[in-house]
Structures are given as structure tokens and as C-alpha cells.
A and B are shown apart, each in its own frame.
Chain A
Amino acid sequence: MKQPSRMPRRAFITSMASSAGVLLAGCSQTDPPTYGHVLRMGDLLTYKAHRLLLPAQSLAREYDYADISSVPAIGTTNPSGHKEHGPVYERLLANRFADWRLPVEGSVARPLAFSLDELKRMPSRTQITRHTCEEGWSAIAQWTGVPLRSVLESAGIRSTARFVQFYAYDGWVDGIDMLDALHPQTILAYGMNGRDLPISHGAPLRARVETQLGYKSTKFLRRIVVTDHFDDHGARGFIQNGWSWYAGI
């Protein structure tokens, strides 16, 4: 009987070791940076694999009204105490956000600032979706808001635009790529479970990014900026604090 050969295995091990470097290819300004950090390279691989393999614009599951569940509010539950924006937020809150404006600027043809009423007058979308927190818990809630796409289109997205950055009253800064920004379920929500968005859940307006983990759905929106290049937001951004920027996981 012929013995199975052991030699191809040795040749295989040696060749694998020498070709591992090929995987560490460079990246452009339209990719999240890795800073040469191996974990960020893994994050980039996951992001690229999702964008390559998953059909774009698939809708996240929408649930029934009866599925709506209890939901904890975590992170910032009231930005009034924030050193920089807290006093402004408190003033806006006292006036029930009548003076609140959302500037939409950056790589757009016509920079605009929306009032809450203007956003509410635009065609709305209501969706009952699952909030998936990075911590491991989940909750189902009904969200009502205006598709981010409509807001961006009314400001006129430039053809060079690649990312949308969210700035919040609690100092939170984050961004998503244009594919998620134009997703039909990515909305700027002002309503939750048939009521005005509670303060603890991000009043007066929060993002809902249903194809990513909960932390990408920025609460307490203050400003939206469209950019042509990736913005890591420096020391305040996710990446430099050791978190994955892409959280479609």
C-alpha cells in the first residue's frame, strides 16, 4: 500500500510563511486608516469583505408593532452637562428645540440648515427595527424620521462625496460611508414608538443606521458634514480610541 507523502506538507508550510506579506496591501484616502495596527487591518478586511460580498442596500428586518420591546438608554442620556455644547443644548431644550437647526454642509452644492419642523414636513419613514448594541443586548423599537438620503439630496450631494460625518451635542463624532448614508433605512429619527424622541434616546434628532451596530446611530445630532475623504476625527474619533469605525460586523 502506498504511504501518503508527508513532503508536500513541508513545502506548503514554507511557501505559506513566505507569501503572508502579500495580504498587507496599502490603502487609499477613501478607506479607514490602519496606522499599521494589526487589529485595524482586520477591521479593514471585514469592511472590504462586506462591501465586496454583501449585496448593497438590502433592508434590515422590520418587525411588527407587537414586537416592540423595552429598551435601555446608555451612553450619554442628557448632553446638558457637556463642557462645550452642554449650555447650548440646555437652552435649546428649554425652548423645546424650536431654535434648534441642523446644518448640512461640506461636499454639497447648497449648504443648508434644517429646523425640526422643516424636517418633519419632509416625506417621512417609519420603521420597526432591532437595535443591536455592541455590548451584546438588543431591543426592538419604532423609529420615525426623514431618510438621510432626502436631506442630503436637498442639499445636493457632490459627485466626489464619499462619507457623511455626524457631530453631536455630547461631543460624539462619527461617520458612515455613502453606501450606508444612502441606504433606504438610514433615517434621521425625531420619533420613537409614536412619541417625540425622548432626551435619553437622543432628542431632538438621532441617526438610525440599521445595517450597523447601535453605536453608529449617533444621538443628539448637531451638525452633518459630507466629505470626499475619510475623516478619522483625530483623538476624538473611534479609530484612535481603539474601536472599529465600521460596525456592520
Chain B
Amino acid sequence: MASFTALALSGFFILMVHPRLYWGHVGNDLTPALLTLPISNNYRPEELQSRMVFTEVPGAPVTAERNFHIFNQNGWARSLHFLAAWILVGIGAIYVALGVSSGHVKRDLLPSGRELSPRSLLQDLRNHFSPRVGSAGVGPPYGLLQKLAYTSVMFVVLPLMVATGLTMSPAVTAAYPILLDVFGGYQTARTIHFFGFTVLVLFLIVHVAMVIATGFSRQLRAMTWGSEQ
């Protein structure tokens, strides 16, 4: 939880330094963006100076100087981001290894084929919006939507965050250029990394809301020390 918060916060600070997202290998203040986020005042294209073309061909690449001061806290933010990532990947690997070997993943987390029918999905969805909350027990058995949320975060979103994170590393992509091909470029990986961040933050908000709705201290005790039943 601490690692997750550290990753989310430092990630947000890192994004503030260059609040634009792109598709492909290239993206900067002189190229069009997919998305410009209003989270900092660092993108000021009209203040770039001494524009110069490299060739006289129309549409040729240009360069321009950025001589104004930008908000940049990446020194600590990126180091904290990686430290938290190391810890989270370590914990995650232990959790998955223990979960698979103890049968927890198969027994409690993966939804069975029978459960995945549209009817039971709809039923579980309806239950979530009924005013009657608090009926959930601690720990397994989990509900269907709960199982789907946990497994997709664990086996889809988090691995995707690690893979897109590694694709942003010049040393890693030199060794494994396939990462650039899989995601279609450094900037695409960065953009997917941002979408993954959004999904994880939403998951965390819903997860914490459900824990509080079903008895905060009881659930927390069950998650950490184990339930007494």
C-alpha cells in the first residue's frame, strides 16, 4: 500500500514535468500530442526561441530553444518511483508464488467457467448496486466481480505497468528492442503506462471504499494477520 501510494504520487510528479502524451517513438514540445493534461504550466510552445530548420525541405524537422524555467522534481520523484517499484515487484512476486503454490489463486481468485455466465455476472452487478451492503464476509470466498477485479489487476494491469515501464528505459530497450516493437514505441509505452495508472488508482479507490463499507478494522485484520474463524 505504501509502495503503491509512493508509485502513484511520484508518477504524477513525473508526469507534471512533461504533461503531454503521444503515440509512437517520438513526442516533444515541437510535435503534436495525443493529449495535453492541464496539470502543470511546463508546456509553453509560444515561449520557445530561435526556431531553426535543419533542411530547407518543407515540413523538415526543426529545433528551438527552451530558455524558461520549468517545474521539475524528477530527481527524487524518479528515484522514489523505482525504489517503490523494486519493493512492489518483490512483494508481488512472493505473493503470486505463494498464491499459486498454496492454491489460493486457483481456489479463491480465478472465477470458474460456470461463474462467468452473463446471468451470474448480471446478478453480481445488480447486488453491488442494491442498498444492502455489509453482508460480505472477510477473506474468501470472493464475489465474482471481486475475483475479476483482483485477477485482472494482478495478472494484466500490474504486469503491463512493469513492461511499459521497462520500455521507457534506454538500457533495457537496447538489450530487448522487442519491447519497442510490442508497444509500438517509447511514447506509446509511456501513454499506456499512464492509462494503467488511471485504472489502478480507480481500482484502489473502489477497493478501499468496499473495505470501509464492509467493516474497516475487521477486514484489515483479516488481510494482514489472518482471520480468527
Contact = CB atoms under 8 A, between A and B. Distances in A.
Do A and B associate with each other? yes
Interface of A: 4, 6-7, 9-10, 13, 38-43, 45-46, 50, 54-55, 58-61, 63, 67-74, 77, 130, 132-141, 192-195, 198, 200-201, 210-213, 241-244, 248-249
Given A42-B82, A72-B28, A193-B61, A135 B50 contact: no
A211 B170 contact: yes
Given A10-B225, A73-B63, A135 B78 contact: no
A6 B102 CA distance: 11
Nearest to A45: B86
Given A40-B79, A133-B28, 13 more contacts: A42-B83, A45-B86, A50-B171, A54-B174, A71-B61, A73-B65, A130-B25, A130-B26, A132-B170, A133-B18, A138-B25, A139-B30, A211-B174
Contact of B18 (A9, A40, A137): A137
A72 B66 contact: yes
Interface of B is mostly: mixed
Contacts of B227: 6
A36 to B, nearest CB: 14
B92 interface: no
A-B pairs, top 4 by smallest CB distance, nearest first, are A248-B171, A42-B83, A6-B226, A136-B18
Nearest to B25: A130
Contacts of A63: 25
B63 A249 contact: no
Contacts of A45: 83, 86
Interface in B45-74: 48, 50, 52, 54-55, 61-67, 70, 72, 74
B171 A137 contact: no
Interface in B85-140: 86, 102-104
A11 B44 CA distance: 55
A110 to B, nearest CB: 32
A249 B82 contact: yes
